[in-house]
A and B are shown apart, each in its own frame.
Chain A
Amino acid sequence: MQPEAKPAFFDEMGAPAACRPQYRLISDWLSAIPTETLEIKRREAEFIFRRTGITFAVYSEGGDTERIIPFDIIPRVLDQAEWDYLSRGIIQRVRALNAFIGDVYNAQEFIRAGKIPAELVLHNPCFISEMMLLPVAQNIYTHISGIDIVRVGPGEFYVLEDNCRTPSGVSYMLENREVMRRLFPDLVNRARIKPISHYPEDLLETLRSVAPGNCAGDPVVALLTPGSFNSAYYEHSFLADEMGIELVEGLDLVVQDMQVFMRTTTGLQRVDVLYRRLDDAFLDPLVFRPDSLLGVPGLMAAYRAGNVTIANAAGSGIADDKAIYTFVPEMIRFFLGEEPILRNVPTWRCDIPSERAYVLEHLHELVVKDVHGSGGYGMLVGPHASSAERAVFAEKIRAAPHRYIAQPTLSLSTCPTFVKNGVAPRHVDLRPFVLMGREIRLVPGGLTRVALREGSLVVNSSQGGGTKDTWIIEEDTDAEAKA
């Protein structure tokens, strides 16, 4: 493996002398704007976020439970060609993931063809046996997914993770653009950015297009939230508001005659599509966790009877499990008959003895992740950990090898970011959001997350990460003509 010598990170803007063309505008803007102005604008952005209440909750910490995610006011830019490539790869991937879930809960051909060990699927906590042979509208399981992409070089992108359950962050994508527009209207107008503000409309259309077959008239869509204490509650209320649909909690819903209704001021009203932002385990206390007060008793029966669509489908987590991730390229070949456009990060599975041995020997250079973890909790970044921390993790791996996977520490690309001492490069990733209904849609861009701590590779908001506005800019034909 590489020695620990200074890694050369790919900076997406490039050195001042060799600024990449898509960053020309940003580069000029940064050299013209005084640091004090940036600081004023940064505070203004923070003020807007606070006043609007764009907050998230941090778990397992005392004190201030409502925080804002730090917003970096320097946008990240991708050009049209980069985006075209990414979107083709992402859409391909989502089609394969959806096909895989449909196969898992029906014919299980992927397993029978020996493409994946049966126990990895059938004994997976994300596998929900109640979903077996359950007909879902249009055969769609992953209505909304978020594919996390990292970059290590000009044309080198990797998929870091798939999110097929209830990916969050899209409200930040939308609000970031709004805030940028308010802070720097002139810059935003000059940049000719592909618009994203139609996302809520696309989402609503997607959800309406998957209403159950027996739905007569206009489908009624509602967003099911665990409630205002959930970390992503702001996003839930934001999306419901933007779509003009009801934001419901479990107690607002009731199942009668295997149909789902919401309690309104004029009595019960039928619901056809539930965009749920609630984990599988809480959906229906009659089927899953009996102690759950968040869900709706009888919901799964109504689902099975084909009287309601749940988006994303129950059990879709089987596709985004970190141990399943390794098999996605094979899914693309198997279900679509295509070669994967986007690469997977090489991954070692600790449940395989030879791979486990490799991982334990190379802990200092690997990132180890809990397959069921999310949000950056329960992971080890080998190169940044102390030998004591690595020893503790080695024990965890030996005790429950099937829970862990390991990946090389990638040299994530950096983007110029406004930090305490001015503008400096910080590592980023990208989460584009894919909508799958009667058609597949992808709004240009996504949520860029940035690790604000110098040298840090962890971008999760729960671990001190921030976000940036992400611009997909149209080709600047004038500039090319001049060149």
Chain B
Amino acid sequence: MLSRTAENLYWLARYVERAENIARLLDVTLRMASLPQQKAGGDSEWRSTVIASGCEESFFAGNEHPTAEAVIYYLARDPDNPSSIVSCLETARNNARMVRTGLSISMWEAINATWIELNTLGEDDFKPERIGRFLDWVKERSLLFGGTVASTMLRSDAFWFSRLGMSIERADNTARIIDVKYNVLLPAYETVGGSMDYYQWASMLQSVSALRAYHWVYRDRVKPWLVAELLILKPEMPRSLAYCISDVNRQLESLANAYGDSGECHRLAGQMYAKLRYGKIDKILAQGLHEFLTQFVDDTKDLGEEITRQYLI
């Protein structure tokens, strides 16, 4: 396979996944912002959303305050923000167009139809009362795309590169969401158990579509350390870091078997997985969750670079 084709498939999957994650993030922020009182004060909710999206620097270069309006515009549709939902979907479609030969027809139609529909949206569709519908639509389109990948792609390198992109992006996004939201929530509430508290944590789980999963796994009230455990270490949780990195390992292994060669990216992914596979949540919390997650985001970035070096250039 051409390196460029692999690269396009990898980034296509990453951008679709990113669009979905930004949509989830905005959705949960809207929910939280609509709760009756905001003890944490003013705009912390929107500020944390900007940070979680990884766009902190660029956002504050153009905006003084993270107001709801400014954040929604920046993350949902700002053409100058390469990570806005609209930009992600545009980039994804461009990538798809460049590698049409590597896509199944259903994959192409899913992404192309998304782009066509995106172009019919107007100012009104991004108004506060309509934005929810837009975010739902983005999630649906991403899930549809994921479905076409899962059910129509040949299990060959094209599939493995797509999955690799999706899982790396998802791992990175989940880690950022936990990091930011955990820090916003924890200092404000030393005691756990109030109703306000419940909604906050529940919202965070919703942002990674894990609330129901939480109940199934723990059959317990929502507790911060269990939330952290679920999203970091639980191998059965499809958005947990452990699951995403084990999936990355699976895809890298398939590539190594097919190509008869492995490299630094394989070693790094294995090392990251070992930490998660054998890690314990109380140890992680004792050593500092923020430090752990920062390290994880950095490792993920290195891993992405190693994958690029090995296969994509």
Shortest Cβ gap from A263 to chain B (Å): 5
B295 touches A (CB below 8 Å): no
B108 touches A (CB below 8 Å): yes
- Given A252-B2, A263-B4, the answer on whether A240 and B101 have CB atoms closer than 8 Å is yes
Shortest Cβ gap from A67 to chain B (Å): 13
Query: A236-272 vs B: 1/0 string, CB under 8 Å?
Result: 0110110000111101100000000011111000000
B1 touches A (CB below 8 Å): yes
Query: B63-75 vs A: 1/0 string, CB under 8 Å?
Result: 0000000000000
B116 touches A (CB below 8 Å): yes
Query: A41-85 vs B: 1/0 string, CB under 8 Å?
Result: 000000000111100000000000000000000000000000000
Q: Is the interface of B mostly helix, strand, loop or mixed?
A: helix
Cβ-defined contact, A248 with B2, below 8 A: yes
Shortest Cβ gap from A256 to chain B (Å): 16
Cβ-defined contact, A264 with B97, below 8 A: no
Contact of A228 among B94, B113, B311 (CB under 8 A): B94
B259 touches A (CB below 8 Å): yes
- Given A241-B101, A251-B4, the answer on whether A265 and B157 have CB atoms closer than 8 Å is yes
Cβ-defined contact, A53 with B97, below 8 A: yes
Query: B1-26 vs A: 1/0 string, CB under 8 Å?
Result: 11111100000000000000000000
How extensive is the interface on chain A, given as a class? Answer: 20 to 34
Q: How far is the CA of A240 from the CA of B255 in the complex (A)?
A: 24
Contact of B108 among A53, A240, A263 (CB under 8 A): A53
A334 touches B (CB below 8 Å): no
Q: Chain B CB within 10 Å — which of A238, A251, A263, A264 has the most? A: A264
Cβ-defined contact, B98 with A228, below 8 A: yes
Residues from chain B with Cβ under 8 Å of A237 in the complex: 97, 100-101
Q: How far is the CA of A51 from the CA of B105 in the complex (A)?
A: 10
Chain B interface residue count, CB cutoff 8 Å, equals: 23
CB contacts between A and B, total, < 8 Å: 55
B109 touches A (CB below 8 Å): yes
Which residue of chain B is the closest to A262 with respect to CB atoms? B2
Cβ-defined contact, B116 with A51, below 8 A: yes
A233 touches B (CB below 8 Å): yes
Cβ-defined contact, A266 with B261, below 8 A: yes
Cβ-defined contact, A51 with B3, below 8 A: no
Q: Chain B CB within 10 Å — which of A50, A51, A53, A237 has the most? A: A53
Give residues of chain B (73-128) contacting chain A, Cβ–Cβ below 8 Å: 94, 97-98, 100-101, 108-109, 112-113, 116
Shortest Cβ gap from A124 to chain B (Å): 35
Shortest Cβ gap from A203 to chain B (Å): 15
Cβ-defined contact, B3 with A50, below 8 A: no
Which residue of chain A is the closest to B7 with respect to CB atoms? A265
Considering the complex of A and B, which 9 residue pairs feature the smallest CB-CB distances, nearest first? A237-B100, A241-B101, A265-B311, A263-B3, A228-B98, A265-B1, A53-B112, A266-B259, A265-B6
B positions within 8 Å CB-CB of A: 1-6, 94, 97-98, 100-101, 108-109, 112-113, 116, 157, 255, 259, 261, 311-313
A-B contact pairs, 16 of them (CB 8 A): A51-B109, A52-B108, A53-B100, A233-B97, A237-B100, A240-B101, A246-B2, A252-B3, A262-B2, A263-B4, A264-B2, A265-B2, A265-B157, A265-B255, A266-B1, A266-B261
9 more A-B residue pairs beyond the given contacts A52-B112, A237-B100, with a C-beta to C-beta distance below 8 A: A51-B116, A53-B108, A53-B112, A237-B97, A241-B101, A263-B2, A264-B2, A265-B157, A266-B259
